[in-house]
Structure 1
Amino acid sequence: MNPVVRWETVSFHYPGAADPTLSSVDIALPEGELCLVVGNTGSGKSTLLRTVNGAVPHATGGTLRGRVRTAGRDTASHRPRDLADVVGMVPQQPADAFVADTVEEEIAYGMECLGVAPDAMRRRVEETLDLLGLAEVRARPVTALSAGQQQRVALAAAFAAQPALLVLDEPTSALDPPAAEEVLAAVQRLVHDLGTTVLLAEHRLERVAQFADSALLVPGAGRPPVVGGTAEVLADAPVAPPVVELSRLLGWDPVALSVRDARRRAAALRLPAPPPTPRAEAGEVVASARGLVARHGPVPALRGVDLDLRSGEVVALMGRNGAGKSTLLSCLAGLHRPRSGRVMVGEADPARLRRRDVARVVGLVPSEPADLLLADRVDRECAAADREAGATPGHTAALLAELVPGIPADAHPRELSCGQRLALALAVLLARAPRLLLLDEPTRGLDYPAKRRAADVLRRLADDDRAVLLVTHDVELAAQVADRVVVLAEGEVITDAPAAEALAASPAFAPQVAKVFAPTPYLTVDHVRRAAREASA
């Protein structure tokens, strides 16, 4: 059987880069497999994916050595448009790539570009709508769909052209857990029922590892990739989901990839049930919302929300896509004026303050922290923040060094890693010393070590007498850092409880460790590690 993709001693340098992003890639991807691409943030996973359709190097520039063959075609002589019939690419943000108005038109568009006959096109559209559970929304505008539905539409549009390979880059990064399950169920259907080959990169490995036939580790730093069985590769990988970390801790070989497997192996363990990690007592109320009602045109977004945020506390705000989380953040930051109800940050309503004054009481980090960064060098960004805040020169740079040391002063902010950009955006906001920090999915695109560092930063900020509200779909991050979890549904608060209680009790939002040890209230591998030490003492 011929491989769908063959990398033959491939290396790649981006223009001006001193070191190669990819090196010594010599791998064959067989037909009909779901191959999971893993590695640290910035290791070269997305670059590897983009070699498959020739975007690297044709669209990026740079120097590609060796040879990549996709469905037998050499990408050196075939540009992305020449490979569109054999490679279906699904981006992280599918809504940015939609070109048609309705679901049905979007699915048909790619086939129209490839010149598929009208009768064949109609048949494929109908089959794809049924296969991916989209028939009921076929006539709806793509902009009116939920995030999970949009991701399935993007998958349907790529699959309808019947490519030899589907390439998915972080397909669940922006999705809540139920929506992620929808998308991954659709991917499994394509692989198992139709024999589609899928190459999938994902940081939230806890969602996908159990479904993968193989794994491809991109180690970065010019080292060659490692490919093999999923359990074999993840056993020693620098990034791994909680059940794999748990396997390492407890000496399980092979490592567990699913909650079911881990739960069976953990059944014989006898561990004490200590309380979750102790947190400092929450302090005074920094911000509050009472009876908050908000709309986007005719669409209700918030329905009578009551919320208190206290100093010393990290609150995770969770819920399905479209539940009203970002609208609540905008109201607290004074960016969206509610239809009724009241928001107070300290003694002021942020919607009635001048923007300069709001920035001194509320710091908002958007889902892309780079949106806050305007200068062309890190040191200039820090100097501008000092001037805006009326702080002494060097104050913001010192905050940045405390958060994440070692960031070069002459680096361009948009060339930093995701974690470094987050730290720089936080330092710029902290220069104004706001008591309330609001973060909208700040760890999207971060690997597990980077998320742990981000969690440490957020914990330190709360311990410095601030209130932190974190919007996230990442249940593992919430388990690590949150004191309290608030869940929104249809614009209403349906849960407001301590993190251990809220997460462990929810089948949708429970982290992997909580599912493994339920009903014992462990949330993280660190909780289990401490319990194991107590049991052996």
Structure 2
Amino acid sequence: MIRFEDVSVTYDGAAEPTVRGVDFEVPEGELVLLVGPSGVGKSTVLGAVSGLVPHFTGGTLRGRVTVAGRDTRAHKPRELADVVGTVGQDPLAHFVTDTVEDELAYGMESLGLAPDVMRRRVEETLDLLGLAGLRDRPIATLSGGQRQRVAIGSVLTPHPRVLVLDEPTSALDPAAAEEVLAVLQRLVHDLGTTVLMAEHRLERVVHYADRVVLLPAPGRPPVTGTPADVMSVSPVHPPVVALGRLAGWSPLPLTVRDARRRAGELRERLSAAADGRTAEPTRSTAAPRPPAHTVPAPAGRGTGRLFGRRPKTAPATGPAPLATADALTVRRAHVTALDRLSLTVAPGETIALMGRNGAGKSTLLNTLVGLLEPTSGTVTVGGAAPHRTAPRELIRHVGLVPQEPRDLLYADTVAAECAAADQDAGADPGTCRALLSRLLPGIADDTHPRDLSEGQCLALALAVVLAARPPLLLLDEPTRGLDYAAKARLVTTLRGLAAEGHAIVLATHDVELAAEVAHRVVLLAEGEVIADGPTAQIVVSSPSFAPQVTKILAPQRWLTVAEVREALG
């Protein structure tokens, strides 16, 4: 169905090809997963399938890409629209209408389908993706994850023979991601749809793939094979594979279920390594520890209308909190995004905000940084109300990396962006550039920020914000587009900032990130705090938010492969 024949792509002004020697085939009716480190050219390969590369991106494509027998060099994207449906990393770039239902119908209208067919397919897609309750909602009022599902739905309704998806689950909560992947699997198995997908959160998708294509490094040819074979050599792999490598399992497991069946001996080794100190292993020094001056509230306390009280965390002794919210309510377009929420953030503390899409995580971050004004209740950052504080003063207290990091970037080159960040923050020249090199090496100074991949763009935006070294750092989906190596560097950076006394609040669906870096987890639902407590206590008790290692080694309470490795010596 899709054939790459010795394909190389060189963008205008680039000294070297972004991808070189790409040669593989995607058979009809298979789900093929494209993996590789950030910036290796996965989005370029996907763009070549739909004809966006090079017709819209520019540059030179050598070799041949064919889809259903059509050469993409000779057929522009509009001439492939009846065959290929594409969802890129940025859902907002796809939308052309104002409401969810209209967006789902737009692609079919462009193809001239009959109104009764359009109506039936819209209803089917609303049900498949759990969007029925959002059908009349303006797209501008949706959360990032909800927009992602609408973008996927908009390419499903025309029933294309080929689906090309770039990070389709990156903005989705675990339950929503499973729903979307289950839909894709049904399309592949029942309808014979061909799916080519790039995804960094391999723990979610690798076991769904029929085969995996690894792009190991720029300029090197891809490695193709079964998921187990490719994961055995891939530099990017999910925690279940890392644990399998550590334990010496062969063949490597790809699912929690397969790993649990083999984990009996490993549990015994870990129990012996605990040396009888506790019935269940405690977290190792590799994992973050809560600051001594904070006392997390117990997990699982009821809130709001159901239980009549709300968990609240307050510092017992020591420095004053960096941020507080008291009975905070925020309404947006007749939707109550936050409902009488209370929260305290102490210096040196890392908090993971978790919950389903639309729970209010981004709204809380935007309120803390002054982009939204409370409807009722109070919020303070650095002792002042952020929405009433001048930006130049506020930047000394709080910095936000939003879900769309490109919103922070405006210069023509990476070097100019870093120089401007240093100047705005009053930092020494080179500060931002050094931070960027630490987060994601290899980004050239003369690259335009708009030409960066999603992961590279996120790393640059994070470096821009960190240049000011704000006491309170807010991150909205900070691992979107990052591979595991880049995520590990981010974890190291965040731990270092927390050790220096910076408070970090990150909204994330990445349960593995929360397990690695967070002292506390705050679960939100419909704008309310439904649980607030130490990370191990919250995630271990949650089927949706438990990391893979926890599920594999339960009832022992391990969170990360690093903890297991340290315990085994």
TM-score, normalised to structure 2's length? 0.86
Structure 1 pair 107–387 and aligned structure 2 pair: CA distance change class (3 A):
closer
The residue aligned with 1:321 is: 357
Q: 3-state SS of the aligned residue for 1:223?
A: coil
| Distance in 2 of aligned mates of 1:528 and 1:116 | 55
| Distance in 2 of aligned mates of 1:401 and 1:22 | 22
Residue pair 1:282, 1:311 contacting (<8 A) in 2 also: no
The residue aligned with 2:45 is: 48
Match of residue 474, structure 2, among 438, 445, 450: 438
| Distance in 2 of aligned mates of 1:120 and 1:18 | 49
Q: Is the counterpart of residue 365 in structure 1 residue 397 in structure 2? A: no
1:331 Cα deviation (Å)?
A: 2.0
The residue aligned with 1:290 is: 326
| Distance in 2 of aligned mates of 1:391 and 1:143 | 36
Q: 3-state SS of the aligned residue for 2:20?
A: strand
Which deviates more, 477-486 or 384-393? Answer: 384-393
| Distance in 2 of aligned mates of 1:280 and 1:152 | 35
Q: 3-state SS of the aligned residue for 1:52?
A: helix
Which deviates more, 368-377 or 129-138? Answer: 129-138
Structure 1 pair 78–439 and aligned structure 2 pair: CA distance change class (3 A):
same
Gaps of 5+ in 2: 272-279, 294-318
The residue aligned with 1:480 is: 516
Residue pair 1:13, 1:62 contacting (<8 A) in 2 also: yes
Which deviates more, 510-519 or 430-439? Answer: 430-439
Match of residue 284, structure 2, among 277, 285, 288: 277
1:120 Cα deviation (Å)?
A: 5.0
Residue pair 1:282, 1:310 contacting (<8 A) in 2 also: no
1:316 Cα deviation (Å)?
A: 0.8
Q: 3-state SS of the aligned residue for 1:56?
A: helix
Q: 3-state SS of the aligned residue for 1:308?
A: strand
Structure 1 pair 370–149 and aligned structure 2 pair: CA distance change class (3 A):
closer
| Distance in 2 of aligned mates of 1:339 and 1:254 | 56
| Distance in 1 of aligned mates of 2:76 and 2:94 | 19
1:89 Cα deviation (Å)?
A: 1.3
Structure 1 pair 57–366 and aligned structure 2 pair: CA distance change class (3 A):
same
1:123 Cα deviation (Å)?
A: 5.5
The residue aligned with 1:511 is: 547
The residue aligned with 1:232 is: 229
Map Cα deviations across residues 32-52 of structure 1 (whole Å, 9 max, x no partner). 111111111111111111111
The residue aligned with 2:152 is: 155
Map Cα deviations across residues 185-235 of structure 1 (whole Å, 9 max, x no partner). 111111122221111111111111111111111223211111111111111
| Distance in 2 of aligned mates of 1:353 and 1:415 | 34
| Distance in 2 of aligned mates of 1:396 and 1:153 | 36
The residue aligned with 1:249 is: 246
Q: Is the counterpart of residue 76 in structure 1 residue 73 in structure 2? A: yes
Which deviates more, 23-32 or 126-135? Answer: 126-135
The residue aligned with 2:306 is: none
Which deviates more, 363-372 or 302-311? Answer: 363-372
1:80 Cα deviation (Å)?
A: 0.9
1:277 Cα deviation (Å)?
A: 3.3
Residue pair 1:368, 1:442 contacting (<8 A) in 2 also: no
Map Cα deviations across residues 472-507 of structure 1 (whole Å, 9 max, x no partner). 111111111111111111111111111111111111
Residue pair 1:455, 1:480 contacting (<8 A) in 2 also: yes
The residue aligned with 2:307 is: none
| Distance in 2 of aligned mates of 1:137 and 1:350 | 31
Match of residue 219, structure 1, among 206, 216, 219: 216
Map Cα deviations across residues 12-41 of structure 1 (whole Å, 9 max, x no partner). 111121111222222121111111111111
Letter of the 1:345 counterpart: V
Structure 1 pair 349–155 and aligned structure 2 pair: CA distance change class (3 A):
closer
Map Cα deviations across residues 59-85 of structure 1 (whole Å, 9 max, x no partner). 112111111111011112111111111
Q: Is the counterpart of residue 459 in structure 1 residue 495 in structure 2? A: yes
Residue pair 1:8, 1:26 contacting (<8 A) in 2 also: yes
Q: 3-state SS of the aligned residue for 1:306?
A: strand
Q: 3-state SS of the aligned residue for 2:50?
A: coil
Gaps of 5+ in 1: none
Residue pair 1:313, 1:467 contacting (<8 A) in 2 also: yes
1:317 Cα deviation (Å)?
A: 1.1
Residue pair 1:148, 1:182 contacting (<8 A) in 2 also: no
Structure 1 pair 406–200 and aligned structure 2 pair: CA distance change class (3 A):
closer
| Distance in 1 of aligned mates of 2:515 and 2:97 | 39
After the TM superposition, which residues 375-386 of structure 1 pair with which residues of structure 2 at under 5 Å, given as runs? 375-386=411-422
After the TM superposition, which residues 368-407 of structure 1 pair with which residues of structure 2 at under 5 Å, given as runs? 368-391=404-427
Residue pair 2:436, 2:460 contacting (<8 A) in 1 also: yes
| Distance in 1 of aligned mates of 2:467 and 2:337 | 32
Letter of the 1:261 counterpart: D
Q: Is the counterpart of residue 354 in structure 1 residue 364 in structure 2? A: no
Letter of the 2:63 counterpart: G
Residue pair 1:318, 1:325 contacting (<8 A) in 2 also: yes
Letter of the 1:281 counterpart: P
Q: Is the counterpart of residue 332 in structure 1 residue 368 in structure 2? A: yes
Letter of the 2:356 counterpart: R
TM-score, normalised to structure 1's length? 0.91
| Distance in 2 of aligned mates of 1:402 and 1:153 | 35
Residue pair 1:95, 1:143 contacting (<8 A) in 2 also: no
- For the aligned residue pairs, the C-alpha RMSD in angstroms reads 2.7
| Distance in 2 of aligned mates of 1:212 and 1:281 | 42
1:298 Cα deviation (Å)?
A: 2.3
| Distance in 2 of aligned mates of 1:29 and 1:44 | 18
| Distance in 1 of aligned mates of 2:167 and 2:483 | 12
Which deviates more, 211-220 or 328-337? Answer: 328-337
Q: Is the counterpart of residue 171 in structure 1 residue 168 in structure 2? A: yes
Aligned residues: 530
